[in-house]
Structure 1
Amino acid sequence: MIDGHVHLENGDLSVEYAMQFVEAAAAKGIDTLQILDHTHRFIEFSPMYDGVRNASPLQAQWLSKKIKDHLSDYHRLIDEMKQIKLPVRVLFGLEVCYTPEAEPFLKEILSQFPYDFLVGSIHSIDGILYDMPFSRELLWDVQEADAIYQRYYTLLEQVITSGLFTQVAHPDTIKLFNIYPSYDLHPTFERLAKLAAAHHVKMENNTGCHYRYHTEDIGLSDAFITALVKEDASIITASDAHYPDHVGNYIREATQRIEEIRDQISSHS
C-alpha cells in the first residue's frame, strides 16, 4: 500500500520527527511513504503568496504563522534521511500551491533540487482560500458554488498540463464543506481523467476530507474514480496526514474501492 501525501508541517524538520511518520507507516502496513510539506512553509516561496495576503487580513494573519523555515533545512533533512536504512520506502517532495501567474517562478525554483516527486495543488480561488474556517465568509457566502467549482477545475486542468508536477493533490477536495454545484460533474471528471492520462500525472485518491471534514466519500467520488479508471489514468492513495497518528488513515479502504470499481468496469467491458 502507498501513502502518497503526508506532511511534516506540525513539527520540526528533524530526523526524529520524520521517523515518527516512517514508523507509523511501517506499523500500518504501508510499503511506500511520500513525505512532503506545503510550499507555504518555506521562506523562499513567500513572494508567491502575495495575492493571498493582499486578499484578506484573515488570510495574511494565517499565512504569517505558516512561513517559518528555509528550503535548505528541508533539503538537509532529506539528505540525512536518505542515509538511513528505513523499514519502508520513503520518498520526499513538495506540495506546491499552484497559481498560473507563478509558473515562471516555480519552473526556476523547483529545478534547483532533485525531489522524488512534486505535487501540484489548488488551495485558493484567485487569491481566496476555499478550505479554511474563514472561507465561508470570504468565498462560499460571496460567490455561487457553480462559479467556484468551474474556476477550481479550470485551475486544476492547468496544474495537470503545466508540466511541473508528477502528482495532483486531492483533486476533488473542493467538496470539503459538502457544498456542490448545480451542474453535472461527470464531464469535468472525464476531461480531467483524459488530461491526467495524457500528461502521465498521478491523481490522488486522498482520504483527508473524509476523516478531517467528514465528507461521505472516503476519497474521490465513485464517479471521479470511474472516469480515471476508464482512461487508465494513474491513481495514488494518500492520507494527507498532518500528524504521525494519521498516516495510513483509510488507505486500505480507498485502495479497495478503486479495485472494486476496476472490477465493475472490467465485468461490463
Structure 2
Amino acid sequence: MIDAHVHLEKGEYCIEWINEFISYAVSRNIDEIYFLEHTHIFKECQSLYDEMSQYNAYQNQWYKKKLKMSRPLKDYTDFIERMKNNHFPVKVKFGLEVCYSPGHETDIERLKKAYPFDFLVGSIHFIDGWAFSHIKQPWKKEDYDLKVLYRRYYKLMYALADSTLFSGLAHPNSLQCFGAYPIEDYIEEYQKIADVLKKNNMYIEESSGLAINYGDRELGMNKRMLEAMKNKKVKIVTASDAHIPQDVGKLIPEMYDYLMQEKAYAHFNDNENIDEFH
C-alpha cells in the first residue's frame, strides 16, 4: 500500500525524524511513502501567496508568521540528497505540495525546474484568495451558495490539471472540510477533470486527510467523482495527508478495501511512469 502524502515540516530534516514516519508505515503495512512539503514554508515561494495574504486580516497575519519562520528551499533539497544515500525498509519519494492559483504558472514552472523532485502534487487551498480550509477560519455552508462555490472549485481543479505542471492532484475533496458537501451532481465537471488528468498522465489522491485532520465523516472522493476517475482509467493513489508520524498510513487500509469493492483496483496505486515524474 502507498501513502502518497506525508509532511515532514514539523520536525528537523534528519534521519531520526524520517525514521519515525517509516516506523509507523511499516507497522501499517505501507510499503511506499511520498514525502513532501508545503510551498508556504519556503522563502522562494512567497509569490504564490500574494492574493491569499491580501484577502483578509487573518490570512495576512497567518502568512506573515509563516514567512517569518520560512526556510530556504535548499535546506529541503540538501536533505533529500542525503536521504537518497540511505536504505529504508519502504520505498521513498520526495516532492512538493504546491498551492495552485491561476496566474502563477510561471512561478511554479520556475520552482519545478529548480530541483528534480520525484513529483509535484498540486492542491487547491484557495478560491480566489479565500483560504477555505483553515481550522482557525471556519465557515458555515449556509452562508455560501454551494452551487456556485463548487463550480468554481472544480474549475480551479481543472485548471491545475490542465497546466501540465504537476504529477498529481491532492485531496480533491478539501472543500467539504467544514461539512459543506456537494449538493448537486457534478458528473460533467468530474469527467472533465478525469479527462485532463488522464491526458497529462497525472494521478489523483484518495485521501483520508479530512477524516484525520478535520473529523470528516467521509473517506476520500465522493462516489460520483471516484466513478468518473475509474471510468477514465485515472491513476488513484491512497494518501493520509499526515503531518505527524502517528498518522502515516492511517485509514489507508479502509480506503484500500473500499477501492477494491468499487472495482477501482485496476488503476488503484498504479505506479506506471510515476518514477519519471519531475
Partner residue, 2:269? none
Over 3 Å counting, the alpha-carbon distance change for 1:58 and 1:205 in structure 2 is same
Alignment RMSD: 1.9
Partner residue, 2:50? 50
Structure 1 segments of 4+ aligned residues over 3 angstroms from their partners: 134-137, 139-143
Partner residue, 2:271? none
Shift in Å, 1:135: 3.6
Equivalent residue letter for 1:199? N
Distance 2:101 2:137 in 1: 18
Equivalent residue letter for 2:45? F
| Among 106, 109, 126, the residue aligned to 1:107 | 109
Over 3 Å counting, the alpha-carbon distance change for 1:171 and 1:184 in structure 2 is same
Contact 2:47/2:107 (<8 A) preserved: no
Aligned residues between the structures: 264
Distance 1:198 1:263 in 2: 19
Partner residue, 1:16? 16
Partner residue, 1:63? 63
Shift in Å, 1:52: 1.1
Contact 1:37/1:93 (<8 A) preserved: yes
Shift in Å, 1:117: 0.7
Gaps of 5+ in 2: 267-278
Gaps of 5+ in 1: none
SS in 2 for 1:249: coil
Shift in Å, 1:174: 1.0
Partner residue, 2:223? 222
Partner residue, 1:118? 120
Shift in Å, 1:77: 0.8
- More helix per residue: 1 or 2? 1
Q: Summarize the alignment of residues 57-96 of structure 1 with structure 2, pairs less than 5 Å apart.
A: 57-67=57-67, 68-96=70-98
How high is the TM-score relative to the length of structure 1? 0.92
Partner residue, 1:29? 29
Shift in Å, 1:141: 6.6
Distance 1:208 1:101 in 2: 27
How high is the TM-score relative to the length of structure 2? 0.89
Q: Summarize the alignment of residues 74-223 of structure 1 with structure 2, pairs less than 5 Å apart.
A: 74-136=76-138, 143-223=144-224
Partner residue, 1:243? 244
Shift in Å, 1:167: 0.7
Over 3 Å counting, the alpha-carbon distance change for 1:66 and 1:13 in structure 2 is farther
